[in-house]
């Protein structure tokens, strides 16, 4: 099953646009838990509330070989009907990109991945060629310094708009999406205008301060779809105590339900 269909079915099953980012930080986790155990309990607490999970590879790689084993265990534990987005932000020349794509889609079996398009088409085409996988290109990121490069005006348009236009041009297999931060609502609106049917991965709610009603109104398509709205720390570290999983469920429930309040109520078209 292709990523887009799998995502639509998970959205429908759990009535959710919420993605939980899995960013396991031993300094913030309750004492005595392994990364894999922590993730399992978070997944058990939220698997009926999400449309996707997004493991951030940096948090696993930081723990060396044991972290990679935990990533493999975590990927295997996530229910098969829920899409998993490997948040790796890879980007390199073509032959290296081939290996990155193989690692994320074959070795770890992610349904989608985040990719940096800065090196151009030959660096991202190996990801696109996995036609049944989703590829989210970094476009307008949520961090404060995003403006350093992404707002640079090129031929009368900010650079992030050029990225979006290239994404449309490159989207031969219909598997490209954009990473668009919740912390820049005006840019989110503009990108939705440019890419009305493209899926957006939207980080930046919760601890980064994105305004959830604005994100939903500006980031979803006219059917209240095509947005994967990510929350990581706010869910994972809702409590540092033994009740962390219950606290995570509570925050995830509140987030899922608040997103649904602001979603357009139009009926979506048939699943692709």
Active site residue 222: no
User: pLDDT tens for residues 20-64?
Assistant: 999 999 999 999 999 999 999 999 999 999 999 999 999 999 999
* CB proximity list for 129: less than 8 A, separation 6 or greater: 101, 173
Domain boundaries, the chain: 3-262
Cα separation, 56 vs 71, in Å, equals 9
pLDDT of residue 269: 52
- Which residue positions in the chain have pLDDT lower than 70? 206-210, 266-272
Range 3-262: architecture per CATH: Alpha-Beta Barrel (3.20)
Question: DSSP letter at 33?
Answer: -
User: pLDDT tens for residues 197-216?
Assistant: 999 999 987 666 568 899 99
Cα separation, 146 vs 153, in Å, equals 14
pLDDT of residue 205: 78
Give SS3 for 100. helix
Give SS3 for 22. strand
Q: Are 10 and 46 in contact (CB under 8 A)?
A: no
Choosing from 89, 99, 133, 166, which is the catalytic residue? 89
- Beta-carbon count within 10 A of 229 CB: 26
């Amino acid at each position: 099953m292709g990523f887009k269909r799998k995502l639509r079915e998970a959205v429908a099953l759990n009535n959710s646009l919420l993605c939980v980012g899995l960013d396991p930080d031993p300094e913030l986790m309750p004492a005595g838990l392994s990364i894999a155990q922590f993730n399992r309990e978070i997944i058990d607490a939220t698997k009926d509330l999400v449309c996707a999970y997004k493991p951030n590879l940096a948090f696993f790689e930081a723990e060396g070989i044991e972290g990679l084993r935990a990533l493999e265990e975590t990927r295997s534990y996530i229910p098969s009907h829920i899409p998993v987005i490997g948040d790796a932000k890879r980007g390199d020349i073509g032959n290296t990109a081939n290996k990155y794509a193989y690692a994320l889609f074959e070795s770890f079996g992610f349904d989608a991945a985040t990719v940096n398009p800065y090196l151009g088409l030959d660096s991202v085409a190996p990801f696109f060629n996995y036609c049944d996988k989703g590829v989210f290109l970094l476009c307008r990121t949520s961090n404060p310094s995003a403006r350093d490069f992404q707002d640079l005006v090129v031929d009368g348009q900010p650079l992030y708009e050029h990225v979006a236009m290239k994404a449309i041009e490159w989207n031969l297999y219909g598997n490209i999406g954009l990473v668009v931060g919740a912390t820049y609502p005006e840019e989110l609106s503009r990108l939705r205008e440019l890419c009305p049917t493209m899926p957006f991965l939207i980080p930046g709610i919760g601890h980064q301060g994105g305004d959830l009603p604005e994100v939903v109104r500006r980031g979803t398509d006219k059917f209240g779809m095509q947005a994967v709205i990510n929350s990581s720390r706010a869910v994972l570290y809702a409590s540092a105590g033994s009740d962390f999983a219950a606290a995570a469920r509570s925050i995830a429930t509140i987030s899922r339900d608040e997103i649904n309040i602001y979603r357009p109520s139009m009926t979506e078209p048939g699943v692709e």
